[in-house]
Amino acid sequence: MAAGSDRHAGRSLSELHERFIALLEADRSAILTSFANHLEGLQSTVSTDAVSREQAMAIAAEIVADIVMRVRGDDSGDWDHGEMLAWLIGAFRARNQLSPADLLRMTVALFDIVVSVLARYVADDPQLLPCFVTALRALNESMSRRVSEATVAYTGYLLERVDQAHIEERLRIARDLHDRLGEGLSIALRQLELHTIRAAQDPAEAARCETAAKEAIIETMGRLRSVTTDLRQDSVRNLETALVRYIDSVAADAEVRLRVSGDEKWAPPVVIDEAYQIVREAVRNAFTHGNPKLVLIGITIAPHELYAWVEDDGCGFGAAATSVGSAPAGTGITTMNERATALGGRLTLASLPGQGTHLGLVVPLPGYRDEHPG
């Protein structure tokens, strides 16, 4: 009699599991639809990028399948399929990375959706409570595994970003050393060679060459101090504050007017830092080469782009310049252009003899594309 009761209880429990699974299978489409509607409301890449959204939906479907498998008592399945690793470092690497905050919001949303559906089954039939507990454990385990994988993947991505930043910084230092020091040293070497050649035949010309070499070395030492000073400085946190500090330190005879508008939080720190370097170099050029009476600096930051310009009423270039490539050597334009290009932006230049110089910088911000490549 007892054995028969056990068999009956066993059959009943199995029947409850199958009933629970049938209910969940019937609601699978509704669960995924509700999750898809939640994704549409997210202000992140997953709401705008079809590939990212498709991957998110696939993972949600796998989690529901995990629950069904566990309630059925099948623990032999592959619990590691569809890991968040591919999600985070696959399609998102070529686009905007899904932030941990977005990932958490999505996980919580899916958890709430699934639990609310499962709880309804128990409310309608309390005998399904053991199945509900099993399903809840399966949901928690499935999500925990994926969130853990996602955390590891995102950490790895950040480490790669740091490594890439170190590489880019070394390249930037190399550009600075080449552009700021290489030219001056080349001039000094050439003048010393001319001094050696003309020392016996034309002492006066040899003396001029020696003086020119000394001047080139002095100027190069000044540039070296500027480079080493840059290396000691922290990254720019506030663009306007940094520029005001630089302008005050220059103590130039020219009048300088600065206007910054927009919210700097719209621009990533690397954009703020590089924009400062470009604008500062443009201002330095104006003081060094233009002998201006007035220098105007404008910076506008919008959600889609950063636009900056430096204009002076100085002597301009010796010949008309209407492009970056036509700028005279030694003005640092090449380095500024490389910085702008590295940000995905562009540099523009306009200068006429006696009419000053205008330099512009446009940098599209993340999530937007520069529609007018130069």
pLDDT tens readout for residues 24-76: 999 999 999 999 988 887 766 666 777 777 878 888 888 899 899 988 887 65
pLDDT class of 174 with cuts at 50, 70, 90: confident
The answer to whether position 209 is within a domain reads no
Return the minimum-mean-pLDDT range out of 11-20, 37-46, 200-209, 225-234. Answer: 225-234
All residues at 6 or more sequence positions from 310 whose CB lies less than 8 Å from its CB, including other chains: 279, 282, 283, 286, 295, 296, 297, 358, 359
The answer to whether position 24 is within a domain reads yes
Torsion of CA 100, 103, 104, 108, to 10 degrees: 180
Predicted pLDDT at 230: 65
Mean pLDDT value across the chain: 78
The answer to whether position 70 is within a domain reads yes
Average pLDDT value for residue range 265-278? 89
Phi then psi for 193, rounded to 5 degrees?
Answer: -65, -45
Average pLDDT value for residue range 124-142? 91
Q: Which of 1, 74, 62 is nearest to 32 (CA)?
A: 62
Average pLDDT value for residue range 226-243? 74
Residue 116 belongs to domain with CATH number: 1.10.490
Residue 351 belongs to domain with CATH number: 3.30.565.10
Residue 154 and residue 299 in one domain: no
Q: Last residue of a domain, which of 108, 132, 162?
A: 162
The answer to whether position 323 is within a domain reads yes
pLDDT score of 95 more than 70: no
The predicted model scores a pTM of: 0.46
Predicted pLDDT at 370: 44
pLDDT score of 253 more than 60: yes
Predicted pLDDT at 156: 67
Predicted pLDDT at 1: 42
* Residues counted in the chain: 374
The single residue listed with the structure tokens 């840059």 is 230
Predicted pLDDT at 108: 87
Q: Can you tell me the distance from the alpha carbon of 242 to that of 238, in angstroms, rounded to the nearest whole number?
A: 6
- Domain holding 244, by residue range, is 237-374
Residue 157 and residue 246 in one domain: no
How many Cβ atoms from other residues are within 10 Å of residue 40's Cβ? 10
Percent of the chain at pLDDT > 90 equals 24
The answer to whether position 208 is within a domain reads no
pLDDT class of 269 with cuts at 50, 70, 90: confident
Return the minimum-mean-pLDDT range out of 128-132, 184-188, 251-255, 268-272. Answer: 251-255
Predicted pLDDT at 333: 80
The answer to whether position 339 is within a domain reads yes
pLDDT class of 358 with cuts at 50, 70, 90: very high
DSSP string spanning 282-340? HHHHIIIII--SEEEEEEEE-SSEEEEEEEE-S---SS-B-SGGGSPTTSSHHHHHHHH
Average pLDDT value for residue range 251-262? 85
Q: Last residue of a domain, which of 162, 196, 225?
A: 162
Tokens standing for residue 216: 């080139």
Q: How open is the CA angle 56-57-60, to the nearest 5 degrees?
A: 90
The answer to whether position 211 is within a domain reads no
Helices marked H in the chain = 2-40, 45-48, 50-71, 84-89, 100-124, 129-176, 183-198, 203-232, 239-250, 269-285, 333-342
Residue 360 and residue 255 in one domain: yes
Beta bridge partners of 352: none
All residues at 6 or more sequence positions from 33 whose CB lies less than 8 Å from its CB, including other chains: none
Q: Last residue of a domain, which of 162, 183, 211?
A: 162
Q: Which of 46, 30, 49 is nearest to 106 (CA)?
A: 46
The answer to whether position 258 is within a domain reads yes
Number of domain units in the chain: 2
pLDDT class of 190 with cuts at 50, 70, 90: confident
Distances (CA, A) of 270 to 40, 276, 339, 344: 30, 10, 11, 12
Average pLDDT value for residue range 239-252? 81
